[in-house]
């Protein structure tokens, strides 16, 4: 922490000395903020009905996304993409980053503890989806293909935009991108902004969890430099669920420190450095500490992630100057460390265990763009990634600590080298995207029961199609292949697992692959934005934990990861926005996924498949100072369970019940730069659990927040 604090102070000092004190002439908004945000529009005078309608149309048509590794209007992308904007981050209930994805098409959120959360995209979860920060891999070599805590180690308030590409995206983004890609685009301070010093502060309190949250950010802008520094602190008490019951082991804290510096040269070259630090000092694993379905007692008397921490350093360079073989380029170098330390003592055991698992990854990425002629465009790049796993474990007894076999083989390593290209052909009516990637993975387990090294090569391809029917309507289709190489979690995990299991190594695992076809429609009119998609996926060589029939001397059932099954997934995704002439806004989503898993001997429902679910929000500005926001989320029951689901203590073996929950908020804007929100979550105090989650959702509780821009 001290190293990061000194780095931030040095960063701010460097840029602060470089800035002139006199006023800076205004310029166009930063390219990272492509639509008018609250920060920008709150300074403007109230618009007429006609102006509001025109503004809404412009927002929908110009919302920029980077799904194709270059900034493009959302309507011009031949992919199913969901976007969370900067405004959404402050207008939605938001504690961990996954909370922001709940209302998006094709996404369902699972939580094992209040301080963690993952998105399930098109029925896939964990390492079956790729998570990125500014295009750099967040996924590690010990990322689980199951619920995990690592996405919660990214501060949601440091994001300017979150993009979710639904469907396999391995051509541009590599392994793990089977269900989809979550790309968190971090805040970028604007160079030569009209205000030399700007920023924001945000305070929030959630009554159902007695949770207090504070966030502050300051941007300093000069003619050629800009810097930003931000801090977020969260302190959560015990969760009260519907009906008034309080759940133990749900209290935790989180603290974040982030910063970024930008410099633009006279030649237009952009240089930048981004530093991110987030730590959860001691977060309980709730499902291990409370008896679940089918259990007479919990798995553990103590289970703490203490601490979980992420440190990230990202250096990038962007050049808009054309050369003989590219028009513009982006170069990135990044280092990431994730600390996953645990303190565990099983039920009625006197001895406990302490673990220290760490991922140290280095990434290098280069992408180039070239407009070949009026109709043809080429994007190509190289990527390198290396992750070294450090793993230690000690048995804690009354006589002290003794080292034992760690969770993963210590100093195991996974390396990637890849090349990719996407060729786009476009005329006034149609667009075709043709992509290919070659990946080479080299894994060293450093375990006496495993080979010295394993080499895997993979080819992936993608075809995308976009048909412009009119200015407002477009059809799109995608046929692609995603893959997931077995990582060190799959290959090298050795030791006890939840549910009285003991995992043994299988170094013969093959990569998983997924073939997917989707077809959809995008509409962007004066008042309406609508996106619908239907998809069919075939998931092959799925890695599954299976019982070997053996037991350990302690009575634990021995399990091993094997390429055992195939899964067919089918789904429908819808999301829409409607803007009224008086500033009203209606937003909604509706999602459905069906999955069937087959092995040589059996066929059953795929595991962790979300139920039919959706959301509906209505924003009603009753005056230029007061806005009423009514919000509902709902899900049908899920009775189609796999055998693994029925064994999971987080899931009722009879199925998960449906729910509908309503929130009401009143927003007051006493000044263009101030907003105060007062509301009630779960208005009718519904007791419910999202399918696959480890605890019930919060019950009825007041919400109070204050947002200040300066």
Which is higher by pLDDT, 372 or 28?
372
Give pLDDT tens digits for 222-239.
Answer: 999 999 999 999 999 999
Specify the range with the lowest mean pLDDT, choosing from 35-44, 214-223, 475-484, 691-700.
35-44
Angle at the Cα of 536 (from 167 to 420), degrees rounded to 5? 35
**0.85 cut: is pTM over it?**
yes
DSSP 499: T
Burial annotation 574-601 (CB, 10 A radius, 16+ → b, else e): bbbbbbbeebbbbbbbbbbbebbbeeee
> Under a CB-based contact definition with an 8 Å cutoff, are residues 116 and 95 in contact?
no
Q: For residue 509, what pLDDT is reported?
A: 85
Give the 3-state secondary structure of residue 612.
Answer: coil
> Under a CB-based contact definition with an 8 Å cutoff, are residues 138 and 151 in contact?
yes
Count CA atoms within 13 Å of residue 253 on its CB side.
7
pLDDT of 284 over the 80 cut: yes
Give the whole-angstrom CA distance, residue 247 versus residue 116.
16
Q: How far is CA 541 from CA 161, 511, 514, 597, 636, in A?
A: 34, 7, 9, 11, 30
Which of 568, 478, 452, 530 has its CA nearest to residue 105? 530
Q: For residue 64, what pLDDT is reported?
A: 64
Confidence band of 194 (pLDDT split at 50, 70, 90): confident
Tell me: cis bond preceding 501? Omega within 30 of 0 counts: no
Give the whole-angstrom CA distance, residue 460 versus residue 438.
7
pLDDT of 165 over the 80 cut: yes
Give the whole-angstrom CA distance, residue 145 versus residue 142.
9
Which of 89, 102, 59, 81 has its CA nearest to residue 158? 89
Please report the DSSP string for 624-643 in residue order: SSEEEEEEEEEE--B----H
Architecture of domain 2-709: Beta Barrel (2.40)
Q: How far is CA 106 from CA 25, 180, 571, 585, 632, in A?
A: 43, 10, 8, 21, 17
pLDDT of 298 over the 80 cut: yes
Q: For residue 340, what pLDDT is reported?
A: 98
Confidence band of 482 (pLDDT split at 50, 70, 90): very high
> Under a CB-based contact definition with an 8 Å cutoff, are residues 511 and 482 in contact?
no
Give pLDDT tens digits for 421-430.
Answer: 999 999 989 9
Q: Are strands 430-444 and 118-121 parallel, antiparallel or unpaired?
A: unpaired
Confidence band of 70 (pLDDT split at 50, 70, 90): confident
Q: For residue 220, what pLDDT is reported?
A: 97
DSSP 472: S
The beta-strand segments (E) located in 281-397 are: 283-284, 300-319, 328-346, 352-371, 376-397
> Under a CB-based contact definition with an 8 Å cutoff, are residues 462 and 171 in contact?
yes
CA 583 from chain centre, in angstroms, equals 30
Angle at the Cα of 221 (from 219 to 222), degrees rounded to 5? 160
Q: How far is CA 634 from CA 34, 335, 451, in A?
A: 31, 40, 49
Q: Please report which helix (H) or strand (E) contains residue 6, including its range.
A: helix 2-18
Q: For residue 53, what pLDDT is reported?
A: 40
């Amino acid at each position: 922490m001290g190293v990061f604090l000194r780095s931030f102070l040095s960063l701010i000092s460097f840029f602060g000395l470089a800035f002139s004190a006199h006023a800076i002439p205004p310029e166009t908004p930063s390219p990272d903020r492509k639509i008018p945000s609250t920060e920008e529009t709150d300074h403007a005078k109230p618009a007429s009905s006609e102006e509001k309608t025109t503004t809404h149309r412009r927002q929908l048509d110009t919302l920029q996304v980077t799904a194709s590794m270059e900034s493009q209007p959302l309507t011009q992308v031949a992919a199913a993409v969901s976007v969370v904007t900067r405004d959404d981050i402050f207008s939605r209930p938001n504690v961990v980053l996954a909370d922001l994805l709940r209302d998006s098409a094709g996404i369902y959120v699972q939580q094992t503890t209040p301080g963690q959360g993952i998105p399930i995209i098109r029925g896939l979860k964990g390492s079956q989806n790729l998570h990125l920060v500014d295009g750099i891999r967040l996924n590690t070599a010990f990322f689980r293909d199951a619920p995990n805590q690592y996405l919660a180690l990214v501060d949601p308030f440091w994001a300017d935009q979150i993009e979710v590409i639904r469907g396999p995206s391995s051509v541009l983004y590599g392994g793990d991108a089977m269900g989809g890609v979550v790309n968190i685009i971090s805040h970028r301070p604007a160079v030569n902004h009209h205000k030399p010093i700007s920023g924001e502060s945000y305070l929030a309190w959630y009554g159902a969890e007695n949770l207090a949250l504070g966030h502050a950010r300051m941007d300093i802008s000069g003619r050629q430099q800009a810097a930003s520094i931000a801090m977020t602190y969260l302190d959560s008490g015990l969760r009260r669920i519907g009906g008034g019951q309080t759940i133990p082991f749900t209290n935790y804290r989180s603290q974040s420190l982030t910063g970024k510096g930008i410099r633009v040269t006279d030649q237009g070259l952009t240089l930048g450095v981004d530093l991110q630090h987030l730590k959860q000092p001691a977060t309980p694993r709730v499902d291990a500490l409370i008896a679940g379905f089918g259990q007479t007692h919990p798995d553990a008397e103590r289970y703490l992630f203490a601490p979980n921490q992420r440190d990230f350093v990202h250096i990038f360079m962007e050049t808009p100057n054309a050369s003989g073989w590219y028009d513009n380029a982006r170069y990135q170098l990044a280092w990431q460390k994730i600390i996953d330390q645990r303190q565990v003592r099983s039920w009625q055991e006197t001895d406990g265990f302490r673990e220290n698992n760490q991922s140290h990854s280095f990434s290098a990425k280069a992408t180039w763009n070239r407009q070949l002629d009026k109709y043809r465009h080429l994007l190509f790049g190289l990527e390198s990634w290396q992750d070294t796993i450090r793993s230690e474990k000690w048995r804690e007894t009354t006589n002290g600590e003794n080292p034992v076999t760690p969770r993963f083989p210590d100093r195991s390593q996974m390396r990637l080298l890849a090349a990719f290209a996407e060729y786009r052909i476009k005329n006034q009516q149609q667009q075709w995207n043709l992509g290919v990637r070659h990946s080479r993975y080299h894994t060293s387990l450093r375990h006496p029961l495993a080979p010295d090294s394993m080499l895997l090569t993979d080819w992936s391809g993608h075809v995308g199609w976009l048909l412009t029917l009119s200015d407002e309507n477009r059809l799109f289709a995608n046929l692609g292949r995603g893959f997931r190489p077995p990582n060190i979690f799959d290959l090298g995990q050795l030791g006890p697992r939840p549910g009285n299991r003991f995992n043994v190594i299988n170094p013969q695992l093959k990569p998983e692959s997924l073939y997917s076809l989707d077809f959809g429609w995008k509409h962007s009119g004066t008042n309406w934005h609508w996106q619908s998609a239907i998809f069919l996926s075939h998931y092959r060589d799925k890695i599954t934990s299976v019982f070997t029939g053996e037991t350990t001397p302690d009575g634990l059932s021995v399990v091993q990861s094997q390429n055992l099954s195939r899964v067919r997934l089918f789904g429908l995704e819808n999301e829409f926005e409607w803007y009224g002439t008086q500033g009203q806004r209606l937003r909604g989503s509706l999602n459905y996924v069906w999955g069937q898993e087959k092995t040589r001997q059996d066929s059953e429902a795929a595991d962790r498949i979300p139920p039919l679910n959706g959301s509906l929000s209505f924003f009603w500005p009753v005056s230029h100072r007061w806005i009423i926001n009514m919000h509902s989320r709902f899900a049908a029951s899920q009775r189609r369970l796999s055998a693994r689901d029925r064994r999971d203590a987080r899931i009722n073996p009879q199925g998960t019940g449906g729910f509908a929950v309503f929130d009401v908020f009143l927003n007051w804007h006493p000044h263009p730069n101030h907003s105060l929100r007062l509301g009630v979550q779960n208005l009718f105090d519904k007791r419910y659990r999202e399918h696959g989650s480890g605890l019930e959702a919060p019950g009825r509780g007041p919400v109070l927040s204050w947002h200040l821009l300066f």
